[in-house]
Amino acid sequence: MGLQLQMKLHSTTYNFSLQYTHSHENPSNPKLPLSNLIFRSPSTPHHYQSLFPLFSKPHSSKRTIKALRIVSDYSVDKDRVAESPAKLLRRILGSPGIHQSPCCFDALSAKLVERAGFDCCFVSGFSVSAARLGMPDAGLISYGEMLEQGRLITQAVSIPVIGDADTGYGNAMNVKRTVKEYIKAGFAGIMLEDQVSPKACGHTRGRKVVSREEAVMRIKAAIDAREESGSDIVIVARTDSRQGVSLEESLWRTRAFADVGADVLFIDALASKDEMRAFCEISPLIHKLANMLEGGGKTPILDPSELEDFGFKLVAYPLSLIGVSMQAMQVTPVTKLQDALASIKEGHIPHKSMPSFDKMKEILGFNSYYEEEELYATTSSRSTQKVE
């Protein structure tokens, strides 16, 4: 016989079953249990515990259950109780080997990543901006749009999803709100960067970063928000200072991010294997993320085994799915998304099935964006001179 139990913990409901039998006692003494529900303890299969003594009141046909007694050596099968997304991601990060993570941009692409056998998934801000707005990744997509898209993605899959939160959408207080809302949206992890606002894709021109103090404070605020929420969301700390300042600056910042408690470190747009090795030597106990930007980014494209040898734990493929999708919408015949995912699984990039990075930027209007941005910057500069 089985007893179905339900437990609610941190707004998550768990259902499990306990097998039991009856052990009858002497019914003549009302102080003794009429019977007991006897449960077998999985840790000691031949040992039985009485959790629910059933008592009979004198002159009554009713049976009552006295207080539940917790058995310390009873364990619940982990396969029967769902882990939180963050705990699942932490378990994945704690397991051997490097973990590949293609970047999705909507619920359907996330489901395809899961069906292809990957154990975690990133949400690419570049790809969401392209798919949702048809515009460049230049800080044009809003906090609300990213949060809404992320909620739809996390609800569609059971694998943990890491959300792209750009700069946190403001100061430290905005960062805290962003982290708390990403937790509610079901994200297992959140990536925050140190660019100035408006931010942009790290492999494009003109990257600028905030001061060291502000960059570190963003990560500290994210960790405070996590603690206040009672969550375990994974904090991915990203710096764009390799292109914005120097390699040395990016190494300093990642050390500082590790010191305040970041879970995963990421320097975007590293330009050589030597730089990638140097990065992995920083804070060796903290996980490192590699970004294999397909189609012509600044970072060398390496296979997963080589990245693992360097010391990377996670590898993201930000453009494969959006790139193949863009190509598929044109007349040229292309490989299906499933084939692109299979190619990544084998350690290859589907170059021939997608436009180059430069072509994708052209389609999304990066060049016209820069021209218009410079026009406003020039106008602003002239106005300032007149005031002076």
pLDDT tens digit string along 255-299? Answer: 999 999 999 999 999 999 999 999 999 999 999 999 999 877 889
Q: If residue 37 lies in a helix (H) or strand (E), which one and from where to where?
A: strand 35-41
Q: Which two tokens stand for residue 235?
A: 């904090």
Comparing CA positions, the residue from 119, 87, 10, 29 lying closest to residue 263 is 87
The DSSP string of 237-248 is: EEE-HHHHT-HH
- Please report where in the chains the tokens 């189609």 appear, as a residue: 295
Would the CA dihedral through 311, 314, 318, 320 be positive or negative?
Answer: positive
Distance CA 203, CA 133 (A): 20
Q: Which two tokens stand for residue 372?
A: 């218009």
Distance CA 55, CA 198 (A): 68
Domain 85-319 adopts which CATH fold? TIM Barrel (3.20.20)
Domain boundaries, the chain: 85-319, 332-381
Comparing CA positions, the residue from 205, 199, 273 lying closest to residue 238 is 199
Query: Running DSSP on this structure, what letter comes out for residue 129?
Result: I
Q: Which two tokens stand for residue 136?
A: 């460049």
* Vertex 294: Cα angle to 289 and 298 (nearest 5): 70
Angle between helices 320-328 and 357-364 (to 10 degrees): 70
- The stretches in the chain having pLDDT less than 50 are 1, 8-11, 19-27, 30-81, 331-334, 387
Comparing CA positions, the residue from 111, 41, 127, 101 lying closest to residue 76 is 41
